[in-house]
Amino acid sequence: MIDWARIHGEKGFRASYLPLSFMSLLYGVGVRLSLKNNKTRDKLSLPGFTVSIGNLTAGGTGKTPATCMIAEWAQGEGYDVAVLSRGYGGKKKERVTIVSDGKDILAGPEEAGDEPCLLAGKLPGIPVVTSKDRYLAGLAAHKNFGSSFFILDDGYQHLALKRDLNLLLLDAANPFGNGRLLPRGPLREPVNQIARADAIIFTRANFLTNGKDMGTEIKYLFQGKPVFMGDHLPVKVVFPFRGTSHDPDFLKGKRVMAFAGIARPDSFSRTLISLGAEILSFRHFPDHHPFTDYEIRTLIQEKVDKGAEFLITTEKDRMRAPDLISGDPCFSYLTIRFELSGEREGFFRMVGDKIKGSSLRQGVASS
């Protein structure tokens, strides 16, 4: 298994990395040509207010919880919200898939991808629609549900679609990895493309330990852009097959076996440690990894061998192993929420100002 997290964090030279560096060079040429071509193209517009949430790196900034935060706010303000996702990892072949109509979840993780299904479960009353063409997804949401407030989940690189607010998420402790493009580094596009953002949100600010104020640094490099700091906060430890849940402090002193298939699994292990859990073993898998029965059985056996009290994973990973845990009462997952660090009011004031300047006006909402 390739340890991409380690490769994307290493800045030094290694001869073994030359093929990756060459592929990064080719990738960079393609990205720059695409950016240049998109400058001359007319962008498509959805019928309403469009906000994009994305990043510069290949995963790991916590876009899904941030999407939930904004969707819940917009719903609370009375807007007809829809979340539009690419549906990464989903196998459904239709051009547009309605994952949720706001009442029922109509497609599972294997069909639609883990993140859209996670969003559908966490956002009752809000449709979730997937398509590689986010414009088609938005039109479907508008036609079927009357949606007029569109949230593009992971939409920073979806340049064909016009947006009224472009939000860029950066990991506060490690915003650019080794600073190189894929596959040698984690960057999807050059760092200077931060300039496209209307505002920057640093995530996992609670993990900053070196005292470096990344917000101040970005403000200096790109003056005039609003910068916000946010944290991913643990909410509940859920045992789905016991039908119970506990506050995060339940983990204090517990001996656990943990696993994760996310872009930055170290963030999950650090969260568990910060809550006082004793991690006897931690297994990490590639991002969006489709777990097999054999892998789950192996994890359960390792839990027994290590003497762990229970098995724990992330909420997103739980979506990809719903039927493989076989009802194990010792299986659990940790839920999280995204909160801005004392800047929530200012952030949503900025969003409101953008809405007032768009085709969607305050008060143009569902009755």
pLDDT for 262-276, tens place per residue? 988 889 999 999 999
**Is residue 255 helix, strand or coil?**
strand
Nearest residue to 84 (alpha-carbon basis) of 140, 42, 122, 165: 140
* Residue 240 belongs to a domain: yes
Write the burial class of residue 204 (CB in 10 Å: 0-12 exposed, 13-18 middle, 19+ buried): buried
* Residue 274 belongs to a domain: yes
Q: What is the pLDDT of residue 161?
A: 95
Put residue 247 in one of left, alpha, beta given phi > 0 → left and psi -120 to 50 → alpha. Answer: beta
Verify that 133 and 151 share a domain, yes or no.
yes
pLDDT band at 5 (very low <50, low <70, confident <90, very high): confident
Q: What is the pLDDT of residue 232?
A: 93
Nearest residue to 85 (alpha-carbon basis) of 59, 61, 113, 104: 113
What is the number of residues in the chain? 367
pLDDT band at 366 (very low <50, low <70, confident <90, very high): very low
Number of H helices, E strands in the chain: 11, 13
Write the burial class of residue 185 (CB in 10 Å: 0-12 exposed, 13-18 middle, 19+ buried): buried
Count how many domains the chain has. Answer: 2
Average pLDDT over residues 88-102: 89
Q: Where are the alpha helices (DSSP H) in 123-169?
A: 134-145
Q: What is the pLDDT of residue 209?
A: 54
312-346 pLDDT, tens digit each: 999 999 998 877 777 789 999 999 999 998 889 99
Verify that 139 and 96 share a domain, yes or no.
yes
Q: What is the pLDDT of residue 208?
A: 66
Q: What is the pLDDT of residue 80?
A: 97
For the chain, percent of residues with pLDDT exceeding 70: 93
pLDDT band at 85 (very low <50, low <70, confident <90, very high): very high
User: Residue 243 and residue 351: Cα distance in Å, rounded?
Assistant: 38
Verify that 213 and 284 share a domain, yes or no.
no
Nearest residue to 162 (alpha-carbon basis) of 46, 39, 40, 48: 46
The pTM for the full model equals 0.92
* Residue 207 belongs to a domain: yes
Verify that 59 and 97 share a domain, yes or no.
yes
271-298 pLDDT, tens digit each: 999 999 999 999 999 888 989 989 999 9
Write the burial class of residue 29 (CB in 10 Å: 0-12 exposed, 13-18 middle, 19+ buried): exposed
* Residue 169 belongs to a domain: yes
Q: What is the pLDDT of residue 364?
A: 47
Put residue 211 in one of left, alpha, beta given phi > 0 → left and psi -120 to 50 → alpha. Answer: left
Verify that 156 and 253 share a domain, yes or no.
no
Verify that 179 and 219 share a domain, yes or no.
yes
Q: What is the pLDDT of residue 344?
A: 95
Rounded CA Rg of the chain: 21
Q: What is the pLDDT of residue 215?
A: 57
* Residue 261 belongs to a domain: yes
- Tell me what the pLDDT averaged over the chain comes to: 91
> Which range marks the domain in which residue 325 is found?
233-338
* Residue 36 belongs to a domain: no
